[in-house]
Structure 1
């Protein structure tokens, strides 16, 4: 299994920053403090849901059949994920202002 970049500090649960990037071809390194994409802060099953949603062009009826759940169940999952993304965006924006 491929290692995933953690989004939270395992010690204090604060947001982690990327501080170095390296090119695997020429060993060039870029140093600084960079926030990670919002997608990295989502759980693996939430990321998979978003990818499925994208690949199905947002057709929840098709996704409901594939996941063998009802449309309302899938819609609720999408609404919960939308609320989580909004909360993450708000938190990330407030971190930027600090």
Structure 2
């Protein structure tokens, strides 16, 4: 099951408020931000993972995906801009 990051009612961003240890049943309550990576959609997460697995080579990613280098570079630039906006 994928961790929900958007409210199903109003589509606002969700925050983490509770976590529980399966081993000892300790519960932690609060109001925490989701990690930046989890704020991205599945496609964006997969893109980052593929970039990592291709040793940071956009050229290799483009080859594996059957896309041109400029197409992959544009996707990377769009994702970088989105992350900058989420971070600040």
Q: What is the Cα deviation at residue 12 of structure 1?
A: 2.0
Q: Which residue of 1 aligns with 2:23?
A: 25
Alpha-carbon distance in 2 for matches of 1:49, 1:79: 12
Q: What is the Cα deviation at residue 78 of structure 1?
A: 0.3
Structure 2: which 5+ residue stretches go unaligned?
A: none
Moved over 3 A (4+): none
Structure 1: which 5+ residue stretches go unaligned?
A: 91-98
Alpha-carbon distance in 1 for matches of 2:5, 2:86: 11
Length-normalised TM-score, structure 2? 0.92
CA RMSD of the aligned region, Å?
1.0
